[in-house]
Structure 1
Amino acid sequence: MPDSQPQPHLPSNSPNPSGGLLLCGARLTDGRTVDVRLGGGRIEAVGTAGSLAQGPARAGAQRVDLTGYLLLPAPAEPHAHGDTALSAEGPGPASCTPEDVRRRATEATLLQLGHGATAVRAHVRVGDVQGLGALNAVLQARRAVRGLAELTAVAMPRLLTGVAGADGLAMLRDAAKMGAAAVGGCPDLDPDPTGYVEAVLEVAAEHGLPVDLHTDAADSARLSRLAAMAGGMRPGVTIGPCAGLARLPAEAASRAADQLAAAGVTVVCLPQGGCGGTDRRGTAPVRLLRAAGVRLAAGSGALRDVSNPVGRGDPLEAAYLLASAHGLRPEDAYDTVSATARATLGLPRVRVEAGFPAELLAVRGDHLPGALSLAYSRIVIHRARVVARTSAVREYCNSAAATEPGLPRQGRGEVP
């Protein structure tokens, strides 16, 4: 059947008009249909459908018809790889030249923005051959997307201990001074994982930065030490993807989860896979972690690089997988890519209520379970501006038209 609901009409100019932005007829997760007025980067008012369109004060407001759309707090991406994204399709090893990294990081951020992520944390390697070049390139990409999305970088040296790690440690300090928003890396790659974590925590304390570490080790003792070291660290410590937890005996995994919760560590899982090699894929035991009280966020991980050449970088896919394959309620699954992901990045909470930041995602559909079914039609709002729109149309033909070109179409509708 043809889709009887109108498609949204978006503002044709990018700057926010003086009259603000009015979202009309949006559906909320509690079932209400509302109008939402945006201005000054925030939600100014939420009212029943039609109630905010009256009066001369808002005569200049640009309107977006969201009839048939579900309005949600925008997701954030807590675990991207800005320096390697979109590198799988080229011949040979990924180019590490600053220009190529800047171009790929910019394109990757815009792709993730199109999916709804108005904030992205990119993990970037520093030291070794690339020095600080890749980090500088990602920081240039950050400037290129300013006003569209918030891109931040985590500096990740390979080694930090012993003679071989001295250069990495100096590079990590330089990265913090350059503008890295967090420090981290993968302690599993260092001969002294505990010493590696100690070095990262020391640099973080020196510069007042958060910590974001990679680990997939199936080693409960190592996770216990990490939790003990991270306890009391402010700003807090994030680790991921922690797929090794799923390979531990149940009792050991439960004990490690309790220790991570007690230390206040946030775990970022990657249900789409693709942070390590093909033999290290998997997802942390998310239900166990949530039951222990661990703050759990979800990221997309690799975006079409050697670790996952078909990675989509789509937060809704991550939430869909947590709901469909790991038993989370749709509301809890979406929270991992929105509220908790934003908190992981140190961003303010978003609700569709007056006074909250206007970081929003409109998805074609009536309810959250449908929206998580990899919906394609999306409108993304950052700082009270429409910054991206994705729309897909599906056409239906009768059986004769399927084999005989030129026969009339039977139906047409927008793909969710």
Structure 2
Amino acid sequence: MPDSQQQPPHSPSGQTDTAALLLCGARLTDGRTVDVRLGGGRIEAVGTAGSLATGTAGSLATGTAGSLATGAAGALAAKVDLTGYLLLPAPAEAHAHSDTALTADGHGPLAYDDRAVRRRATEAALLQLGHGATALRSHVRVGDVQGLDALTAVLEVRRSLRGLADLATVAMPRVLTGTAGADGLAMLRDALKMGASVVGGCPDADPDPTGYVEAVLELASEHGCPVDLHTDASDPARLARLTAMAGGLRPGVTLGPCGGLGGLPPEVAARAADQLAAAGVTVVCLPQGACGSADRRGTAPVRLLRAAGVRVAAGSGALRDVSNPVGRGDPLEAAYLLASRYGLRPEEAYDAVSRAARAALGLPEVRVEAGFPAELLAVRGDGLAGALSLAYSRIVIHRGRVVARTSAVREYCDSAAESGLELPRQGREEPS
């Protein structure tokens, strides 16, 4: 296949693997089987299977996540055999809560000390990375009991994950208006100075939601940073004010989970969708469950929003905390639910957790084409519908390097073979 002529934007600065890596025999969603050569954190070439194999440094076990190759760009490429795998742009986690993740089984008050938050945030990020999310946006509470301690811990985790995954943080104060709001506003300013990259919060929880949004938008405009607000969106008048205020802000505004839209009369929900589209707002829905800062009212009406032209992404939301004690933090599960429960085609559903999610995070687009960032996910399976249904074995590539591998083995008892039962073609791994 000829190299793509489109030049994508540069990927964010950071550590990349300059050694070359060759992905052999991968299947694409259009049915083609290709080789893909990576180098310098980007896709260097895509060709028909076997066309790029000359001059490689040798084969590695499928999905080996160790030191794959050494040397400068242009060195001989190590090979990863992706026969039987579907190669996709890597998903991104557009809505996480690292500071409260993995606390559902805890007893007593939630611990916000540095060590506890660092442990939880690290474990959650690695869990999500193993599922394929090479970029994450985490909402972190600031003010009240935790002050800036939780944010400090998550920023430390961000630094420790460099080279494995990109972690962005959203500072979330509880109140920004009235006498109590002065402290919250000061805390929010300090959070941005510390390294929080997005201004967020939950205006529905403030006595003056409009004043809360005004404060957030003013601070975001002052610092030139994005906005990511929690709202249930069940009050159409309040949502209309919010979208009117947010329209035109650059960088843009993200709202989520907006589950209350699904409970509005159809004509009211349609009018709200038109307003969101006109304002250029991105909606991040949470098909796996809501989070503690918004009422659990189901999932936003994604088909209605998409039909109106709203940019819709999907995230995981709560991860095994009091809001969702069984969360998986798996973008493919979010896509599966969008397809199975909310009527999106598999391609649309995966787009919500990959291209649309990356766009919501301000990241460059990824395609399996030359010149694009080497942010990739290989899942065992022949097609996207099958991968969303049953994708246990995964190989995750971040900045041109294999950073995580999950290998699933399925075995059948001896009596199955003795009875003459014909086992699946890949009987020792999950069916594709």
| TM-score, length basis structure 1 | 0.92
- Report how far residue 91 of structure 1 moved: 2.1
1:319 to 2:335 alignment: yes
Aligned CA distance change for structure 1 residues 278 and 225 (closer, same or farther; 3 Å): closer
1:71 to 2:80 alignment: no
Whichever residue aligns with residue 164 of structure 1, its letter is: A
Farther-moved stretch of structure 1 (279-288 vs 240-249): 279-288
Q: Distance in 1 between matches of 2:18 and 2:120?
A: 34
1:241 to 2:263 alignment: no
1:35 to 2:51 alignment: no
Secondary structure of the residue that 2:411 maps to in structure 1? strand
**Superimposed CA distance per residue, residues 49-80 of structure 1 (whole angstroms, 9 cap, x where no aligned partner):** 00001147977311100000000000000100
- Report how far residue 401 of structure 1 moved: 8.2
Structure 2 matches for 1:138-149, cutoff 5 A? Answer: 138-149=154-165
Q: Distance in 2 between matches of 1:285 and 1:40?
A: 40
Q: Distance in 2 between matches of 1:131 and 1:56?
A: 53
**Superimposed CA distance per residue, residues 318-353 of structure 1 (whole angstroms, 9 cap, x where no aligned partner):** 000000000001101000000010000010000000
Whichever residue aligns with residue 153 of structure 1, its letter is: T
**Superimposed CA distance per residue, residues 27-60 of structure 1 (whole angstroms, 9 cap, x where no aligned partner):** 0001100000000000000000000011479773
Farther-moved stretch of structure 1 (276-285 vs 385-394): 276-285
Q: Distance in 1 between matches of 2:208 and 2:293?
A: 21
- Report how far residue 93 of structure 1 moved: 2.9
Whichever residue aligns with residue 414 of structure 1, its letter is: E
1:213 to 2:229 alignment: yes
Q: Distance in 2 between matches of 1:260 and 1:194?
A: 17
Partner residue in 2 for 1:406: none
Q: Distance in 1 between matches of 2:351 and 2:183?
A: 39
Partner residue in 1 for 2:325: 309
8 Å contact from structure 1 (residues 120, 150) kept in 2: yes
Partner residue in 2 for 1:46: 46
Partner residue in 1 for 2:429: 414
Whichever residue aligns with residue 183 of structure 1, its letter is: V
Partner residue in 2 for 1:379: 395
Structure 2 matches for 1:247-262, cutoff 5 A? Answer: 247-262=263-278
Whichever residue aligns with residue 41 of structure 2, its letter is: G
Q: Distance in 2 between matches of 1:141 and 1:56?
A: 36
Q: Distance in 1 between matches of 2:308 and 2:295?
A: 28
8 Å contact from structure 1 (residues 18, 60) kept in 2: no
Partner residue in 1 for 2:23: 23
Structure 2 matches for 1:319-358, cutoff 5 A? Answer: 319-358=335-374
Query: CA-atom RMSD, angstroms?
Result: 2.1
Secondary structure of the residue that 1:165 maps to in structure 2? helix
Aligned CA distance change for structure 1 residues 360 and 185 (closer, same or farther; 3 Å): same
- Report how far residue 316 of structure 1 moved: 0.2
Percent of aligned pairs with the same amino acid: 80
Q: Distance in 2 between matches of 1:145 and 1:124?
A: 17
8 Å contact from structure 1 (residues 74, 116) kept in 2: yes
- Report how far residue 85 of structure 1 moved: 0.5
Partner residue in 1 for 2:111: 95
8 Å contact from structure 1 (residues 320, 373) kept in 2: yes
Partner residue in 1 for 2:316: 300
Q: Distance in 2 between matches of 1:68 and 1:56?
A: 21
8 Å contact from structure 1 (residues 317, 374) kept in 2: no
Structure 2 stretches of 5 or more lacking a match?
Answer: 1-14, 58-73
8 Å contact from structure 1 (residues 320, 374) kept in 2: no
Q: Distance in 1 between matches of 2:82 and 2:216?
A: 46
Whichever residue aligns with residue 99 of structure 1, its letter is: R
Q: Distance in 2 between matches of 1:247 and 1:197?
A: 23
Secondary structure of the residue that 1:280 maps to in structure 2? coil
| TM-score, length basis structure 2 | 0.89
Q: Distance in 1 between matches of 2:369 and 2:29?
A: 13
1:121 to 2:137 alignment: yes
8 Å contact from structure 2 (residues 257, 290) kept in 1: no
Structure 1 stretches of 5 or more lacking a match?
Answer: 1-14, 403-408
Q: Distance in 2 between matches of 1:242 and 1:17?
A: 39
- Report how far residue 230 of structure 1 moved: 0.4
Q: Distance in 2 between matches of 1:115 and 1:350?
A: 17
8 Å contact from structure 2 (residues 258, 283) kept in 1: yes
Q: Distance in 2 between matches of 1:149 and 1:174?
A: 25
Whichever residue aligns with residue 168 of structure 1, its letter is: G
Aligned CA distance change for structure 1 residues 396 and 16 (closer, same or farther; 3 Å): farther
Q: Distance in 2 between matches of 1:376 and 1:95?
A: 33
Whichever residue aligns with residue 33 of structure 2, its letter is: T
- Report how far residue 245 of structure 1 moved: 0.4
Aligned CA distance change for structure 1 residues 245 and 179 (closer, same or farther; 3 Å): same
Whichever residue aligns with residue 268 of structure 1, its letter is: V
Q: Distance in 2 between matches of 1:156 and 1:386?
A: 33
Secondary structure of the residue that 2:306 maps to in structure 1? helix
Secondary structure of the residue that 1:379 maps to in structure 2? strand
- Report how far residue 19 of structure 1 moved: 4.8
Secondary structure of the residue that 2:38 maps to in structure 1? strand
Corresponding pairs, count: 398
8 Å contact from structure 2 (residues 17, 41) kept in 1: no
8 Å contact from structure 2 (residues 29, 384) kept in 1: yes
Q: Distance in 2 between matches of 1:200 and 1:18?
A: 40
Q: Distance in 1 between matches of 2:222 and 2:290?
A: 32
